[in-house]
Amino acid sequence: MSGTRRPAPKFPLRLDQLAPGAPAPGAARTLLRPQQPLQHAALEATRRNTPTGLGLDSAGVRERMVARLRDEGLRHEAVLCAIAAVPRHQFVDAALATQAYEDTSLPIGHGQTISKPSVVGRMIELLMGGASARAAGQLARVLEIGTGCGYQAALLSQLSRQVISVERVKPLHDKARELMAPLRLANVRLVYGDGMLGHAPNAPYDGIIAAAGGEALPAAWLEQLAIGGRLVAPVHDGTDRQVLVVVDRTEHGYERSVHEAVQFVPLKSGLVR
């Protein structure tokens, strides 16, 4: 009889089983299936592309950045593990690689920027706080608006079963594809398109995250959000400020909360060839 009562094995590990704030050295490996190939491939790519002598291929540089982010209040262990695993310097020009582990946004061409690690971490932490993500310990399907260089998509790949990332500027979409190729992230799909329309073919999403800020939330995002899902986006607040807006979709409708001020590039409609 006791055999029939054994609880079904849970995979992946539920994050809420981890003590808050406690170091969880095994958590990333248990939770994140792409983690192993990522680390291996990332090191290979680092050797190929990074000017020698910068020491950026050492996981220690990222660990120090993670320690700073933790000190500043980022608490979600799986998010911290993802930041520790993804080589941010691989996503910026070699000339900027030495700044890749500072908490700063950096230009990626076409007037766009890779967002600050603390802001990316904060937004993904908020995203992971949605009802479905909390219950499952990870996100099932995430839509990212604004692939840019692909850094945030790579982080999301570590925390989700599937990532769909939309970019409206073709050369950036192509560049992200190239930068992400060595990481062999099988669960990321890059789409060239206007993210203001969301991406209907893969909807609904239990997470939607925007890396560009508009005047209002596009209706498509709200429609494509699953019940139990959460949307995190910068939105103008009526003045010249942008704030982070979180929308949770429940069976009864949408619940919106407003968080801190942020600075993102503008959300624009249409495509750039």
Query: For binding to ligand SAH (CB under 6 A), which residues are involved?
Result: 108, 112-115, 145-146, 148-149, 151-152, 166-169, 172, 194-196, 211-212, 265, 267-269
Q: Of all helices (H) and strands (E), which one includes residue 149?
A: none
DSSP 8-state secondary structure symbol assigned to residue 169: B
Least distance CB 56 / ligand SAH (angstroms): 17
Least distance CB 129 / ligand SAH (angstroms): 19
Least distance CB 6 / ligand SAH (angstroms): 42
List the catalytic residues: 115
In the complex with ligand SAH, the residue whose CB is nearer, 18 or 212, is 212
Nearest alpha carbon to residue 260 among 240, 241, 239:
241
In the complex with ligand SAH, the residue whose CB is nearer, 69 or 169, is 169
Q: Where are the beta strands (DSSP E) in the chain?
A: 106-109, 112-114, 139-145, 160-167, 188-192, 205-210, 212-213, 225-236, 242-250, 253-262, 265-266
Least distance CB 34 / ligand SAH (angstroms): 17
Q: Which residues of 66-105 are buried (b: 16+ CB within 10 A; e: fewer)?
A: beebbeeebebbbbbbbbbbbbbbbbbeeeebbebbeeeb
Single-letter code of the amino acid located at 250: T
User: How far is residue 192's CA from residue 174's CA, in Å, rounded to a whole number?
Assistant: 9
Least distance CB 113 / ligand SAH (angstroms): 6
In the complex with ligand SAH, the residue whose CB is nearer, 136 or 272, is 272
Q: How many CB atoms are located within 10 Å of the residue 216 CB? A: 10
User: How far is residue 105's CA from residue 102's CA, in Å, rounded to a whole number?
Assistant: 9
In the complex with ligand SAH, the residue whose CB is nearer, 218 or 229, is 218
In the complex with ligand SAH, the residue whose CB is nearer, 138 or 152, is 152
Specify the residue for token string 């409708």: 253
Single-letter code of the amino acid located at 128: M
